[in-house]
Amino acid sequence: MCGIIGYCGQKPAVPIILEALKRLEYRGYDSAGIACLCDGKLLIEKDAGKVDEIIRKRSLADVPGNVAIGHTRWATHGAVTQVNAHPHSDCSGSAAVVHNGIIENSEQLRQELTRMGHRFTSETDTEVIPHLLEDEIKNGLSLEQAVLNIAPKLEGSYAFLVASLNDPGKIIGTRRNNPLVVGIDAPDYYVSSDALAFSPYTNQVMSLEDNEVVVLAAGKVEFFDARGNKLVKQARQLDHTWTENHKGSYQHFMLKEIMEQAQVLDQTIHQDEKTFNTIALDILRARQVIITACGSSRYAALVGRYLFSRVGKRFCDVVMASEFGYFADSVDKNTVVIAVSQSGETADVVDGVKAARAAEAQVISIINRPNSILADLSHQVIHLNCGPEMAVAATKSFLSQLAIFYLLSFAMVNAFEEAAAKLTDLSSELTRVLDWNKSELIRLSRTLKDKSDFYYIARGINFAIASEGALKLKEISYIHAEGMPAGELKHGTLALIGPGTPVVVVCPADYTFSETLSNAIEAKTRGAYIIGVSDRESDVYDSWIKIPQVDELLYPMVAVVPLHLLAYYLAINRGCDPDRPRNLAKSVTVK
Ligand code: AGP
């Protein structure tokens, strides 16, 4: 969940690192820091806060030197403080380490190292790494050999970078179960959790496998396996669309990502029909199909479940990835597991997929970020092609996931092209839904910004859209919200509805309309303020969010867009930063 970056080359390193940290902030933004090697000195600057604040506070921009590493943090071990921010150093202050992941045996290592005389200054798991390296270097090992020697002692997941006065022109990196990618633009070299960090400079990359080590040095880059054998790697080119991440004229990435959904849908539809037909056949032939995902990706999967059942006549289950392991007993080689993840690196999903692979299941992934850990673990991969999503809240990737499930379900009945054509027609409807509702959503967000609870209800294929709307509201505006099947309201939650309680009712004029409206009336009778998301007007609504009439299996796509926008405006009206919600990060790489 943290972002790490290293640069070694001929340019001034620190400005490159600072810019990269801003691009990596989606991975964590509670603290940040840099370490720079210059004139025989190791300079470490770090603090709690966002990258821009720290740059200003510590006047970082003018620090000289051509070798530097940096870190942006999402705290796991140790509070959000200046001391716990990365880089971390050893007792002598000669090495600096930035780390993404969790060292699970850090407590035990810390005790051993303390007994041996090491002094710790932070509460982090990371700090064991520089102290372990210190001992190896004292024994005369080179920095890369020291990294190779300590790696087997570390349990858990990591990607870390080291810069040291003992070998000043170098940066050493290694990884296990966390991403690390090298950017090549000889004689300049970059290494980071995400190629996005160095995307303005190069799209030529080389990836590291688990336990491999990379050494960036003046004018060269070298790779080694876990035994220290030299490896030869070929650079590959990243798709340039993945590197664009400007806000443009928008105030926030989230707003831009909501607004660009019509275009995103067009990109997502460009898929290989043959691959879809093959995967659809695998799904139909399997003994059982399980979809696993977290958060918004799981809600997209729940829509997918309805589509599979309705179109493909194929029942499947959706299991929360953090719970998947507890069902692993029933997974076998006749099971198809579909993993859905925007980032492709969510730890719970990765773990579930590993369990599925161990049980010999066939794994299909639906991913946005290219070259992810999940892609490497899967037999087949479907890419969302919706470009980098920078806001922590998923919006355009959610829509793309819905489109993929729509295409897959139609592929089950040999109707991929029909589905692609319907999705093509839908993109103009998405623009329309934004135009129609913008001012009403702004009005609503002003009126309702001080409400403490929201409820979202819907039925059938639209139920997961209610959950998605509620999740988005909680995540970025910090208002408590619950989404549920409308029929469940009367089984307990209705007790919480009182005068003025906002209830968002997703009730398109489809097979769910009448029953959902009845549930809305039950809430209104108790005084609820009803926000109807529908193509059919009704007196029951206190506010009508109008959506266009579309094919009934496409309603989730037109209904979710205004819900994302409502959450956005509520966040803005409450003074929250929708792109960087508190306590959260875009890539959740811890369990
Ligand atoms: C969505 O707005 C959230 N940020 C979150 O629930 C997210 O969908 C979840 O963490 C899963 O991420 P993934 O799709 O990258 O696996």
Residue-wise pLDDT tens digits, 495-549: 999 999 999 999 999 999 999 999 999 999 999 999 999 999 999 999 999 999 9
Three-state secondary-structure class, residue 535: coil
User: Which pLDDT score is estimated for 115?
Assistant: 97
Nearest-atom index, ligand 1, CA of 343: 15
Tell me if 257 CB under 6 Å of ligand 1.
no
Cα of 125 vs centre of ligand 1, distance in Å, is 25
Measured from the CB, is residue 475 less than 6 Å from ligand 1?
A: yes
**296 in ligand 1 pocket by Cβ < 6 Å?**
yes
Ligand 1 pocket residue status of 368, Cβ below 6 Å: no
Question: Could you tell me if the CB of 589 is within 6 A of ligand 1?
Answer: no
**Closest residue to atom 7 of ligand 1, CA basis:** 295
Measure the CA–CA gap between 578 and 355, rounded to whole angstroms: 35
Residues 6+ apart with CB under 8 A from 14: 34, 36, 60, 61, 62, 63, 64, 65, 68
Query: pLDDT per residue over 316-348, tens digit each?
Result: 999 999 999 999 899 999 999 999 999 999 999
Report the sign of the C-alpha dihedral through residues 83, 89, 94, 98, in that order: negative
Q: Which atom of ligand 1 is nearest to the CA of 346?
A: 16
**CB-based contact 35:66 (threshold 8 Å):** no
- End-to-end Cα separation, the chain, in angstroms: 11
DSSP string, 469-521: HHHHHHHHH--EEEEEEGGGGGGTGGGG--TT-EEEEE--SSTTHHHHHHHHH
Tell how far the Cα of 296 is from the centroid of ligand 1, in angstroms: 5
Cα 322 to ligand 1 centre (Å): 13
Q: For residue 77, what pLDDT is reported? A: 84
Residue 349 CB–ligand 1 contact under 6 Å: yes
CA distances from 237 to 197, 377, 383 (A): 15, 21, 17
Contact between 520 and 530 (Cβ < 8 Å): yes
Cβ atoms of 24 and 100 within 8 Å: the answer is no
Give all domains of the chain, ordered by start, each with its CATH number.
3-242 (3.60.20.10), 253-573 (3.40.50.10490)
Are 2 and 28 within 8 A, CB to CB? yes
pLDDT by residue for the chain (591 residues), tens only, comes to: 799 999 999 999 999 999 999 999 888 889 999 999 988 899 999 999 988 888 887 776 777 889 999 999 988 888 999 999 999 999 999 999 999 999 999 999 999 999 999 999 999 999 999 999 999 999 999 999 999 999 999 999 899 999 999 998 999 999 998 899 999 999 999 999 999 999 999 999 999 999 999 999 988 999 999 999 999 999 998 876 666 678 888 999 999 999 999 999 999 999 999 999 999 999 999 999 999 999 999 999 999 999 999 999 999 999 999 999 999 899 999 999 999 999 999 999 999 999 999 999 999 999 998 878 899 999 999 999 999 999 999 999 999 999 999 999 999 999 999 999 999 999 999 999 999 999 999 999 999 999 999 999 999 999 999 999 999 999 999 999 999 999 999 999 999 999 999 999 999 999 999 999 999 999 999 999 999 999 999 999 999 999 999 999 999 999 999 999 999 999 999 999 999 999 898 888 777
Q: What is the pLDDT of residues 441-480, one digit of tens each?
A: 999 999 999 999 999 999 999 999 999 999 999 999 999 9
Q: What is the DSSP string of 9-75?
A: SSS-HHHHHHHHHHHHGGG--SEEEEEEEETTEEEEEEEES-HHHHHHHHT-TT---SEEEEEEE--
User: Among the atoms of ligand 1, which is closest to the Cα of residue 475?
Assistant: 2
Q: What are 256's two structure tokens? A: 């831009």
Mean of per-residue pLDDT scores for the chain: 94
Task: Look at ligand 1, atom 3, and give the residue with the nearest C-alpha.
Answer: 393
Please choose, from the candidates 172, 18, 13, the residue with its C-alpha nearest in 3D space to the C-alpha of residue 98. 172
Probe target for ligand 1 pocket from 474, 588, 590, 591, with the most ligand atoms within 8 Å of CB: 588
Ligand 1 center from residue 338 Cα (angstroms): 16
Enumerate the active-site residues. Answer: 2, 586
Q: CB of 292 closer than 6 A to ligand 1?
A: no
Alpha helix positions (H), 216-372: 253-259, 261-269, 273-285, 295-310, 321-324, 347-358
Residue 177 pairs in a beta bridge with: 158
pLDDT of residue 95: 96
User: Is the CB of 346 inside a 6 Å radius of any atom of ligand 1?
Assistant: yes
Ligand 1 centroid distance, CA of 249 (Å):
25
C-alpha of residue 476 to centroid of ligand 1, in Å? 13
Question: Is the beta carbon of 19 within 6 A of some atom in ligand 1?
Answer: no
Tell me how crowded residue 237 is: count the other CB atoms within 10 A of its CB: 9
Q: How far is the CA of 433 from the centre of ligand 1 (A)?
A: 24
Rounded to whole angstroms, the Cα distance separating 238 from 170 reads: 25
pLDDT at 151: 96
476 to each of 457, 479, 495, 552, 579, how far by Cα in Å?
Answer: 20, 8, 26, 29, 8
* Number of neighbours of residue 218 by Cβ within 10 angstroms: 14
Nearest CA to ligand 1 atom 9: 295
Q: Which amino acid is at 315?
A: F
Q: Is 295 in the pocket of ligand 1 (CB under 6 A)?
A: yes
Preceding amide of 556 cis, omega within 30: no
Q: Is 516 in the pocket of ligand 1 (CB under 6 A)?
A: no
Sign of CA dihedral 222, 226, 228, 234: negative
C-alpha distances (whole Å) from 493 to each of 295, 459, 488, 496, 502 are 21, 16, 8, 6, 13
Query: How remote is the CA of residue 23 from the centroid of ligand 1, in Å?
Result: 18
User: Residue 43's pLDDT is what?
Assistant: 93
